[in-house]
Structure 1
Amino acid sequence: MRILICDDDALIVEQLQKYIRNFFEKIGVKCPELVCFSDGESLLADKGEKDILFLDVEMPGMNGIYVGNELKKRNDNIIIFIVTSYSEYLDEAMRFHVFRYLSKPLDKQRFFRNMKDAVDLYNTMTIKIPIETKQGVHTLPASSVIAVEAQGRKVVIHTTQRDFESIRNMQYWLELLPKNCFFQTHRSFIINFEHVTDFDRTLVHMADEQFHAYLTKRKYSAFKEAYLLYLDSTR
């Protein structure tokens, strides 16, 4: 993981660095690489990986809205926090799907809560899972799994690439897949929230209506709550 800060306010940069280090110390994990920039031009010129970014809006030269848009075009998975005193930029920032909007001065507890959500999302997007079939093992990002379906004695893993017939049972997949993104809607289906298009009380429509999973009535409320929490964590 590589975390970037882009702000022309040296005090805010120092505070963000401190809070980020405190957060990783609190969860008992070594702090990732931290890189700081004071303007958008130098950030856009950077050739390194960009996983999580704390971005100011009002800076000399390019403003943060333009920079954020450009970075999202290059890598849609970048997790961007907008950090600013000016709430009028919120609508513009939301158009390129920023992860969170943090107001200055920063509140430490709120920062920690949002940072946890960002790290959880990053881990979900980057975690890779092995799919064991009779022909061999295929390793794919968890995010590419649309759903796991039990078809009689077979267990089929539907992915964005193709379907795989797994040699593992449903319980194995229920324990393996990240619980913040996957949900068992029915004894025959485990779905990935990321690929949900819409749902009603009996069906979950996925992958732009290309796939459908059953949703039992007794799980409807729990599914709805979990899905809304997932959406909230990715905004």
Structure 2
Amino acid sequence: MPKIAVCDDDKESVIRLKEMILSAGISKEIDCYESGEKLVESDQNYDILFLDIDMGGMNGIETAKILREKDKNVKIIYVTSYAEYVHYAFAVHAFAYLLKPVSQEQVKAQLQEAISYYQKRKKEDEISIRFETKDGSELVRINDIYYFEYRERRVYVKTKKENLIIRGGIREIAERMKGYDFAVPHKSFVVNLFYVKAVKGYDIRMMDGSLIPLSQKKSTEFRSLLNKFLAGCI
């Protein structure tokens, strides 16, 4: 069952939207927040987030930017009274943009569409791939891999659980991982685009804290692949 939250500084809007979501029969529990600050401070990850834009204090755009740093996969559905904010919503890869007052039909339709993406991602998270190491064959979940690095004539794999040394060349790995949203930012690296936290100049900061170089030669292609990946997450 997906984890859903509502964030709006108008109490009546929160109550009304919560009732609509519950009526859709998608989830039995909805977390509610009355400010962007409280949502960010909660440090919770959600699958679907209904978020107002025009809020006192931290607005919905600022809130989404902070959330996106740690979670690229949350489906953000903006619910606002102002159509002119739609341009800013695309900057944080919003899944949908609804104008108040919203109807039960609109909420249900967006929920059903978001759920289809949620279920697809759940299936992808379970995919594993087999690598040959010096100690034998090893099955690794793709979702656990941060990146591959070629150094000292070996390919190292940085994962959530351990670091592995695998057989094969970095080019062979790049070709093999291409279909799983991995990309090559430098001749010595293959990275999981899902775990790219930020790209500044020619540095790539990963969600595990690693700093990976982005070569000038690969920069345009890598940034294009990253943008396409992010667009596919919305």
TM-score (normalizing by structure 2):
0.55
Residue number in structure 2 paired with 1:174: 174
Instruction: Give the 3-state SS of the residue equivalent to 1:149 in structure 2.
Output: strand
Separation in structure 2 between the aligned mates of residue 199 and residue 9 of structure 1, nearest angstrom? 39
How far does residue 197 in structure 1 lie from its aligned partner after superposition? 4.4
Whether 1:195 and 2:195 are equivalent positions in the alignment is: yes
- Is 2:218 aligned against 1:219? yes
CA RMSD after TM alignment: 4.3
Distance 1:13 1:113 in 2: 13
Q: Which residue of 2 aligns with 1:99?
A: 75
Distance across 2 between alignment mates of 1:222 and 1:216: 10
Paired with 1:180 and 1:188, the residues of 2 have a C-alpha distance of 18
Aligned to 2:32: 64
* 2:47 pairs with 1:9: no
C-alpha distance in structure 2 between counterparts of 1:87 and 1:99, whole Å: 15
The one-letter amino acid paired with 1:100 is: I
Identity of aligned residues (%): 16
**1:143 matched to 2:129:** no
Gap regions ≥5 residues in structure 1: 15-34, 38-42, 44-54, 56-62
Please tell me whether the aligned partners of residues 184 and 190 of structure 1 are also in contact (alpha carbons under 8 angstroms): yes
Question: How far apart in 1 are the matches of 2:109 and 2:76?
Answer: 14
C-alpha contact 1:157 1:164 (8 A) present in aligned 2? yes
Checking the alignment, whether the CA contact within 8 Å between 2:193 and 2:229 is kept in structure 1 is: yes
Shift of 1:126: 3.9
Paired residues for 1:16-31 under 5 Å? none
Corresponding residue to 1:80 among 30, 39, 48? 48
Would you say the 8 A contact 2:2–2:48 is kept in 1?
A: no
Residue 26 (structure 1) aligns with: none
Corresponding residue of 1:228? 227
Contact 2:47 2:75 in 1 (8 A): yes
Cα 1:181–1:197 shift into 2, 3 Å: same
Q: Deviations over 1:88-123 (max 9, x none)?
A: 467297466652214334299977875565455444
The answer to whether the 8 A contact 1:201-1:216 is kept is no
Shift of 1:158: 1.8
Whether contact under 8 Å (1:124, 1:178) holds in the other structure is: no
What's the offset of the Cα at 1:139? Answer: 3.5
Q: Distance in 2 between matches of 1:179 and 1:169?
A: 17
Q: Which moved more, 1:156-165 or 1:90-99?
A: 90-99
Pair 1:107–1:172, CA change in 2 (3 A): farther
Q: Deviations over 1:105-158 (max 9, x none)?
A: 429997787556545544444433333312134434323312112336422212
- TM-score, L = length of structure 1: 0.54
Deviations 1:40-66 (A, max 9, x none): xxx2xxxxxxxxxxx5xxxxxxx6337
Describe how 1:148-159 pairs up with structure 2 within 5 A: 148-151=148-151, 153-159=153-159
* 1:197-216 C-alpha deviation (Å, 9 max, x unpaired): 44455443435653424x33
Range with greater deviation from structure 2 (128-137 or 4-13): 4-13
Shift of residue 187 of structure 1? 3.2
Q: Distance in 2 between matches of 1:112 and 1:178?
A: 29
Note closer, same or farther for the CA distance 1:176–1:111 as it changes in structure 2 (3 Å cut). Answer: farther
Does the CA-based 8 Å contact 1:146-1:195 persist in structure 2? Answer: yes
How far is 1:183 from its partner? Answer: 0.7
Aligned length: 184
Q: Alignment partner of 1:216: what SS?
A: coil
